[in-house]
Amino acid sequence: MSEVTRRAFVGMAAVAGGAAALGPSRPKKAPAGGGAARAVDFTVDGVPFTTAEWADLLARLSAPGRIAGDEYSRGGAVESLEVEFAQLLGKEAAVFMPSGTLANQLAVRKLAGARRRVIVQESSHLYNDTGDCADQLSQLTLLPLAPGKATFSWEDVERALDRTASGRVAAEVGVISIESPVRRLHGETFDFGQMQRVSAEARKRGIGLHLDGARLFVAAAYSGRSPGEYCALFDTVYVSLWKCFSSGGGAVLAGPKALLADMFQLRRMFGGALWNAWPYAAVASHQAEGYLERLTAAVRVSEALIALLSADARFGVERVPGGTSLFRLTPKTPDLAAFRQRLAARGIAVGPADGAGFWLKVNETLQGASAQALAGAFRACLSSV
């Protein structure tokens, strides 16, 4: 781990007239609208580094003697990152991947073996957002369950298994892949009780289990369960490095050492062996240290903020049932664009309006901020006064 401390990246910003200390990994931001330093950013999963800030952080982390380079994503800082995340996830080994798409595909491909059918959620990333890579590149057939829902039950799985077994041509289910939280469902999580049951029953039948945990650490911050508690239910797990850990790119696939022993060969076969991946590894490793504690502190601030805004009749607040870091804010104002601009001038970033309101994403930039001051800023921005 680098000797560079996060205190070097602490920033301060004025929110609703009061100074709010930002999270430990938070650098001072480039000026936002109105010239104020951006204090809280509700648009991303991690820290929204500008390109200059990311380059500055990388330069500090890679001071002479602090980081060893890799060769085709093997050794050096990449290997250190793999060891670190294997420990964080409670797995024997981990392998760096250039993307979550490749991590998911190679995991289910390896687990499936000769049994080429894979059960997934209908709303999952693997089913919707990867260009049918499992089918086109790995000859896997995805069986989508529970349309529009984050959770399927073991009974849903059994029906799929029975239907598969009744075919006139033998075709077995080799893997069950679960995404949680589900991006397409605004961060709704797969019910943990059902996850436990699916895992137990699948293991009785020798069916492989993969977790698409791109935002697994977000789920952990909201549930109070450790990442390892989730991962223990699965053979393999993928975690994004750029979503929560601000790495700029990359992913980690963790699982049994024997299963992943030659995974670097499959990675190379798909063109995924980056000549040098150490910049992604260095930043992700830096951000991962203490991340769950920082995010948990940010969640506490956000819950207090949501309570304050919910008590104000001028705001509508919608929570996602079984959700995590996303909530919808509907302010009673005729000009949402102007409302957003006034927030930016006060150092609060929100994304473009979606209908009559905004989807706000909780991340570690809320750590150390004042919920009362933030609520005051939202109220003040309802008008131009």
Q: Evaluate whether 6-59+291-380 and 76-275 have a shared fold.
A: no
Question: Does the global pTM surpass 0.85?
Answer: yes
What's the average model confidence in pLDDT over 126-142?
A: 96
Angle (nearest 5°) at CA 225 between 223 and 228: 140
Q: Output the pLDDT for position 39.
A: 83
**319 to 307, 359, 360: CA distances (angstroms):** 11, 10, 11
Predicted confidence at residue 3, as pLDDT, reads 40
Residue 22, pLDDT above cutoff 80: no
Q: What is the Cα–Cα distance from 185 to 326, expressed in whole angstroms?
A: 10
In this predicted structure, the answer to whether residue 27 has a pLDDT above a threshold of 80 is no
Q: Given pLDDT bands bounded at 50, 70 and 90, which one contains residue 153?
A: very high
Are 253 and 95 in contact, with CB atoms under 8 Å apart? yes
**First and final C-alpha spacing in the chain:** 48
Percentage of the chain beyond pLDDT 70 is: 90
Q: Report pLDDT digits (tens) over 95-125.
A: 999 999 999 999 999 999 999 999 999 999 9
* Residue ranges covered by each domain of the chain: 6-59+291-380, 76-275
Q: What is the pLDDT of residues 204-235, one digit of tens each?
A: 999 999 999 999 999 999 999 999 999 999 99
Fold category of 76-275 in CATH: Aspartate Aminotransferase; domain 2 (3.40.640)
Return the ∠ at Cα 279 (arms to 278 and 283), rounded to 5°: 110
Q: pLDDT tens, 289-321?
A: 999 999 999 999 999 999 999 999 999 999 999
- Where do we find the tokens 């137990």? 200
3-state secondary structure of 107: helix
Domain 6-59+291-380 has CATH 3.90.1150.10: yes
User: Which distant-in-sequence residues (6+ apart) come within 8 Å of 138 by Cβ?
Assistant: 105, 108, 109, 112
- Residue 166 pLDDT greater than 50, yes or no: yes
